[in-house]
Structures are given as structure tokens and as C-alpha cells.
Amino acid sequence: NEIYLEMPKFVLPLHECDTLYKKWLYVLNNIEIMERLPKELNNQIFRKLKSIVEVERMTPDQRLEYELSLSVERDLSAALDTSFEDGMEKGLKEGIEKGKAEGLCQVAANLKRMGMDIATIVNSTGLSKEVILSL
């Protein structure tokens, strides 16, 4: 089945457009309303259409300026994402190393408390004699 619709004959008012299909037809027939989007059309798909219409109505100079600003924004976002990932990786590595060092100190302190020979603790943990004596 095919339905042919002549847009000038679509005269249904917005408040009677109860389906998304009818709302689309209303918008296509009344595209000038995209400047002031009615609350009945305030959902994601019509907001996206409004932004597309706004871009299409720009002069060539405005369009170039807009595209350049988008490019700068995308570059900045990518740089921030990369920096965040690098920072997370570095922080995780440092955290693991610090955790290992704290674990070795705790084991050395426990062995020292049990009366084990300092030289054996040094050989077992790899910590210096000074660090073990300070525990």
C-alpha cells in the first residue's frame, strides 16, 4: 500500500497531532516553527531536527565558523579523554607499586615482631636493613 499526501492539504493543528507520524507531517508542512519549538514537539528527535535546520540556515561564513568551532571542541574532547586515560593508567600503576611496598613493609614488621633475624627479613623482602629497623 502506498499513501500519497499533498502537504498543502495537511491542515491538522498541532494539538490534534497525536502520533509521531502526524507530528512529522505537521513539522514538514510548518518548518518555520522550528525557530520556536512548541512544547508538544520538545523531544529529542525534534530538537535534533531544529539544530539541523539552524545549521542549514547559516550563511557560508557562519557555517565555516560553526564547523571550525566543532572541530576545536572535538579536538579538545579527544585530548581530554586521552589525558584522562593516561592519568588513570599512571595512577593505577603507582597505586599497585605503593600497595606492594606497603605489603612488604607489613610482612617485614610481622616477621620482626615474631623475632626473625633482620638479615633473613632483608633477604626475604628485599627491603633495606634501615627500613626494617625503622618498622
* pLDDT (tens digit per residue) in 24-57: 889 888 888 877 888 888 888 888 888 888 888 8
Domain span holding position 14: 1-57
In a domain, 14, yes or no: yes
In a domain, 88, yes or no: no
In a domain, 67, yes or no: no
In a domain, 66, yes or no: no
Residue 132 has pLDDT above 90, yes or no: no
In a domain, 13, yes or no: yes
CA–CA distance, 8 with 11 (Å, rounded to integer): 7
In a domain, 48, yes or no: yes
Work out how many domains the chain is built from and give that number: 1
Residue 1 has pLDDT above 80, yes or no: no
Find the helix packing angle between 60-113 and 118-125, rounded to 10°: 150
In a domain, 71, yes or no: no
In a domain, 107, yes or no: no
- Tell me if 28 sits within 8 A of 12, measured CB to CB: no
